[in-house]
Structure 1
Amino acid sequence: MYLKRLSLRHFRNYPEQTVSFTAAKTILLGDNAQGKSNLLEAVEWLATLQSHRTPRDRDLIQHGHTTAQMTAEVERQGIPLELTGVLRQGGGRSLRVNGCTVRRTLDFLGQLNVVEFSCLDLDLVRGTPALRRSWLDRILVQLEPVYSQLLQSYQKTLRQRNALLKQGTGIDEGLWQAWNQQLAVTGTRMMRRRQRLIERLAPLASHWHQVLSGDREVLTLSYHSHVPIADPSPEAMLVRFMERLAERRSLELIHKTTLVGPHRDDVGFDLNHQPARQYASQGQQRTLVLALKLAELALVEAVVGESPLLLLDDVLAELDLYRQQILLEVMGDRYQTLITTTHLTPFATPWRSDAQVLKVAGGQIAAVAGTAVETSS
């Protein structure tokens, strides 16, 4: 999988820009707040139809404009592919594949696969459960595009059920049970997929953590659900989900919100059988997150049968020299990599000489050191 060209129009701080990628490794060089991360964000959006930086599409539209457009020209298994997303300030979006409008997100997702690693990911260990849930969901959307519809269905059901809870007493029992059933059905399907994802990531993350820690630590991953998963069969989980909803009904009426379901679940990271969230040092947290990202990279590649794009947003400065070297060695020429940085110091001369270096300043991109970039305005 190779990203050949990216065109942006009124996206974030880019009025109009087209960039051609001429090497397996592209270094985006520039000061902070110049647009480096925005470029990676556009690629991420075309892969997942969402940004890890904001849940609202309208935040991606350049100030003073009503629409934004992103187009990626990709080569996948030797076949050219063009992906276009158009965002509208008033809401709504349109998607095109090879110039043809697609109505279903299923027909768009999975065409471009990326693994994104930013400084924000360093909060995965000690950050909120919502961050860890979002991390799982972004992976699943790429591996199983149907998961995006499942997620949307669950969120819609959750909003309807919460609206009922806000009514307090006098809830229509038939309507209440109907929403309970819908929440349990979609919630069970989500939890089973998340659980399977953790089971596939766990050995890969454990391997990389052993490499990074010099075999001094053992990393284990676990999925923590508000619905106990003793029996992972769909039927048993559905029954337990419904039982759990009945058990928490009184408490939910007090809090006027749904307290059971995958929107409340979490992921556990343990180092040597101790919760990393409470006991891991800052260095251990960075090692753990790097192991997670390397595991994610390996899993996506194994599932889709092609190397995904690797997007590294300002992370080298957060890693020590040893971990920087491990990451750069893993990248090699195996993965097309877009990496942002404020300076070139972390990149050894041989590695840098094979890379395309682009200077980013004020939403404008220019070639550095003889590398090629195509721009339009």
Structure 2
Amino acid sequence: MRLRRITLQHFRNIPLAELAFEGRQQFFVGDNGQGKTNLLEAAGFVSALRSFRTADTRVLIAQGQTEAALACEFEHEKFGVTKLVIKLRPGGKEVWCDGEKVTRLGDYLGRFPTVVFSSQDQQLVRGAPGLRRRWLDFTLAAMDTAYLRALQTYHKALAERNALLKRGAGGGELGAFEKPLATAAAELQVKREAGVAELAAHVATAYAQIADDAEQAGLRLAPDITAENAHAWLGVFERGRARDAQFRTTLAGPHRDDLLFTLNGRTAKDYGSEGQQRSLVLSLQLAQVSFFRARMGVEPLLLADDVLGELDPERRKRFWATLGESRQVIATGTSLPDAELGSWEVFRVAAGAFAKETTL
């Protein structure tokens, strides 16, 4: 998949930008705070209709404006030349694909896969479990509408159960929401275990390429609790009522699952060096690329936000080699990339404006 044109209006600090891309590598260069990452954020928004930086789409609308919009034109392996229009308003969003309004997220997810490489991704290893769950849920839901439905059902039932716990409801009322909660929990458990096993193989392969087989990387699901089936999950929630009532929230379930990264069998968070952790995060994103391509038969758009300067020269060279020579890469930085990373179409960014320069 290739992004050939993108138009932004009132998107963060970008009043209006109309950009056409040639070739497969584009680089946006400029000082920090000028709008480079905002452009990548807009390009990445097409994947799941959400930002990789914030859960609140209202902040994407420029201050003082009532609406933001972005339009993209893709060359797509399955759909040919495809045009996408997205309008963002404080109360929600509207999406049109080739002139037809998209009304169900499940029908849209997976069409336009993007993978973001960001300097902030280091928190996927070091940060809180919620960051890793969010990444995992996005990755699996983007390729599996059944996973998305189970996730939505689970969180809806969880919110209702928690609301009842807060007002001291009895077992009868709680039971009405525990049944769909248990069914969705069982499905999420099965799909997460299978998805993580598939992703783990891709992570190991990517890490070996980046680190030159220096150590073996691993990835596994670290569930908060496991149960055999929906009936067993129902028992988990029923037995937890007294404790949950005391704390006024549901304390056990898939909403507390985590991902565990390892290097040579030891936890990367505790024993990995900064360089190893950075390589592991890049391997996780490369695994996402391979996972999307294997599931959808579509090459994802790769968005690299100021990551090139954080690797030593040898690992940077290996990382770039793993991207291949056919995928489109849109990257940002405060200085131009090394010549060894190939030919780039360069755009200078200042105060939300973009000026094309001579191709490197």
Normalised-by-shorter TM-score class = over 0.9
Cα distance, 1:359 vs. partner? Answer: 0.9
Q: After the TM superposition, which residues 250-269 of structure 1 pair with which residues of structure 2 at under 5 Å, given as runs?
A: 250-269=242-261
> Normalising by the residue count of structure 1, what TM-score does the alignment of the two structures yield?
0.91
Bigger Cα displacement from structure 2, 201-210 vs 130-139: 201-210
The residue type paired with residue 205 of structure 1 is: V
Cα distance, 1:370 vs. partner? Answer: 5.2
Match of 1:154 in 2: 154
The residue type paired with residue 316 of structure 1 is: L
CA contact (8 A) 2:157 2:180 kept: yes
Alpha-carbon separation, structure 1, partners of 2:99 and 2:149: 23
Alpha-carbon deviations, 1:307-327, whole Å to 9, x = none? 111111111122111121112
The residue type paired with residue 331 of structure 1 is: L
Bigger Cα displacement from structure 2, 259-268 vs 151-160: 151-160
The residue type paired with residue 155 of structure 1 is: H
Alpha-carbon separation, structure 1, partners of 2:14 and 2:147: 31
Match of 2:86 in 1: 85
Match of 1:6 in 2: 6
Change (3 A) 1:217 1:114: same
Match of 1:356 in 2: 345
Q: SS at the partner of 1:53?
A: coil
Cα distance, 1:62 vs. partner? Answer: 0.7
Q: CA RMSD in A?
A: 1.7
Alpha-carbon separation, structure 2, partners of 1:28 and 1:88: 27
CA contact (8 A) 2:48 2:109 kept: yes
The residue type paired with residue 27 of structure 1 is: F
> Normalising by the residue count of structure 2, what TM-score does the alignment of the two structures yield?
0.95
The residue type paired with residue 246 of structure 2 is: I
The residue type paired with residue 223 of structure 2 is: S
1:278 aligns with 2:267: no
Alpha-carbon separation, structure 1, partners of 2:205 and 2:359: 39
Q: SS at the partner of 1:216?
A: coil
1:29 aligns with 2:18: no
1:193 aligns with 2:191: yes
CA contact (8 A) 2:6 2:19 kept: yes
Q: SS at the partner of 1:143?
A: coil
Alpha-carbon deviations, 1:197-250, whole Å to 9, x = none? 111011121122223333231222111112225xxxxxx331232222223222
Alpha-carbon separation, structure 1, partners of 2:12 and 2:5: 18
Change (3 A) 1:228 1:149: closer
Cα distance, 1:67 vs. partner? Answer: 0.9
CA contact (8 A) 2:224 2:254 kept: yes
Alpha-carbon separation, structure 2, partners of 1:85 and 1:95: 5
Match of 2:303 in 1: 311
Alpha-carbon separation, structure 2, partners of 1:150 and 1:98: 29
Change (3 A) 1:182 1:135: same
Match of 1:289 in 2: 281
Match of 2:232 in 1: 240
Alpha-carbon separation, structure 2, partners of 1:29 and 1:164: 51
Match of 2:120 in 1: 120
Alpha-carbon separation, structure 1, partners of 2:108 and 2:42: 15
Q: SS at the partner of 1:343?
A: coil
CA contact (8 A) 2:209 2:318 kept: no
Matched residues, percent identical? 38
Cα distance, 1:108 vs. partner? Answer: 2.4
Q: SS at the partner of 1:311?
A: strand
The residue type paired with residue 19 of structure 1 is: L
CA contact (8 A) 2:118 2:306 kept: yes
Partner residue of 1:213 out of 206, 211, 214 = 211
Match of 1:134 in 2: 134
Alpha-carbon separation, structure 1, partners of 2:29 and 2:159: 43
1:299 aligns with 2:291: yes
Cα distance, 1:18 vs. partner? Answer: 1.2
CA contact (8 A) 1:228 1:240 kept: no
The residue type paired with residue 185 of structure 2 is: G
Q: After the TM superposition, which residues 57-76 of structure 1 pair with which residues of structure 2 at under 5 Å, given as runs?
A: 57-76=57-76
Change (3 A) 1:220 1:238: same
Alpha-carbon deviations, 1:151-208, whole Å to 9, x = none? 333222221111111012xx24332111111111222222322222111011121122
CA contact (8 A) 2:211 2:315 kept: no
Q: SS at the partner of 1:34?
A: coil
CA contact (8 A) 2:224 2:252 kept: yes
Change (3 A) 1:332 1:208: closer
The residue type paired with residue 304 of structure 2 is: L
CA contact (8 A) 2:129 2:259 kept: yes
The residue type paired with residue 249 of structure 2 is: T
The residue type paired with residue 7 of structure 1 is: T
Gaps of 5+ in 2: none
The residue type paired with residue 53 of structure 1 is: R
Count of paired positions: 359
Alpha-carbon separation, structure 1, partners of 2:190 and 2:310: 34
Change (3 A) 1:141 1:72: farther
Alpha-carbon separation, structure 2, partners of 1:212 and 1:278: 21
Change (3 A) 1:289 1:268: same
